[in-house]
Amino acid sequence: MRRYERPVFSLIYRMVRDRALAEDLAQETFIKVLNGIRSYRPEFKFSSWIFKIANNAAIDQLRRRDLDTLSLDGSPHAQTADEIQATALQLDGGAESPLDAVTSRELGGQIERAIARLRPEYRACILLRHVEGHSYEEIAQMLDLPLGTVKTYIHRARNELRGYLERVRD
Partner 1 sequence: MMMHPPHPHLTPDEIELWAQGLLGAAGALHLAECRECLVHAEQERKLARDLANLPRFGPEFGFIERVMAHVRVPTPSGDFRA
From the CB of residue 17, how many other CB atoms can be counted at a distance below 10 Å?
24
Is residue 29 packed enough to be buried (19+ CB in 10 Å), middle (13-18) or exposed (0-12)?
buried
Stretch that binds partner 1, among 18-26, 57-65, 89-97, 139-147 (CB under 8 A): 18-26
**Dihedral pair phi/psi, residue 71, rounded to 5°:** -160, 170
By CB under 8 A, tell whether 91 contacts partner 1: no
By CB under 8 A, tell whether 151 contacts partner 1: yes
Stretch that binds partner 1, among 7-15, 55-63, 73-81, 139-147 (CB under 8 A): 7-15
By CB under 8 A, tell whether 86 contacts partner 1: no
* Distance, CA of 60 to CA of 82 (rounded, Å): 29
Q: How far is the CB of 23 from partner 1 (least distance, A)?
A: 5
- 3-state SS class at 56: helix
By CB under 8 A, tell whether 9 contacts partner 1: yes
By CB under 8 A, tell whether 131 contacts partner 1: yes
Q: Which residues of 53-75 are buried (b: 16+ CB within 10 A; e: fewer)?
A: bbbbbbbebbeeeebbebbbbbb
Residues lying near partner 1 in the complex (CB under 8 A): 1-2, 5-7, 9-10, 13, 22-23, 26-27, 30-31, 34-35, 106, 111-112, 126-127, 130-131, 133, 151, 155, 158, 161-162, 165
